[in-house]
A and B are shown apart, each in its own frame.
Chain A
């Protein structure tokens, strides 16, 4: 039973355009959501997070949207850059407990 799902294994976007990565969850007890970015041969690095009391959080080119009624969150990257090419994982937790990760989406940004 996968509690956090990323249904798109890959995404290809042209440089300068918007990248939208999606994530769905099933556990209504989740109250904190995070996005991580992973380059090959490196560990995941924290990118941005959002609490369930908010529906949007923005940090530079990165914005995370949370739709609690749909149990859906998305990461928007605008404008996309070649250096954004990586695997992106969404993760969720309840009451600062352990994180549950999705399976990841590989983003490729081409010139």
Chain B
């Protein structure tokens, strides 16, 4: 079984709709992250959480919100989706004593 899972894997929605992307992990890590990937722009950090009561904005947090429901769950919401939020979204986890992050398989989101 995958250590970091994301649901849904693909989603098509319309402008103005509220969307939630979910991430679960079984690695027991305290730290969790949400990134988006756009062609030519690499991976950009949206939000991150170092434990259940900790939420931090990343490089591109405008238009997004997050919820850390438990150590294992971190969800990303688009309150009112717009077309330029069409992208690949990745969740990741890490242990605070190690530098590497472990990524989920991604969610491809299309906003029409």
Measuring CB to CB, which residues of chain A are less than 8 angstroms from any residue of chain B? 6, 9, 32, 34, 36, 41-46, 49, 89, 91, 93, 96, 98-104
Contact = CB atoms under 8 A, between A and B. Distances in A.
B42 A32 contact: no
A101 B46 CA distance: 13
Contact of A93 (B35, B97, B99, B102): B99
Nearest to B96: A96
Given A42-B105, A104-B42, A32 B99 contact: yes
Contact of B101 (A9, A46, A104): A46
Contacts of A42: 105-106
B41 A98 contact: no
Contact of B58 (A41, A96, A98): A98
A49 B100 contact: yes
Interface string B50-92: 0000000010000000000000000000000000000000101
Contacts, number: 51
A57 B41 CA distance: 27
Contacts of A104: 42
Interface of B: 4, 33, 35, 40-45, 48, 58, 90, 92, 96-106
6 contacts: A43-B106, A46-B102, A49-B99, A98-B45, A99-B99, A103-B41
A42 B107 CA distance: 10
Contacts of A6: 42
A10 B42 CA distance: 13
Nearest to B101: A99
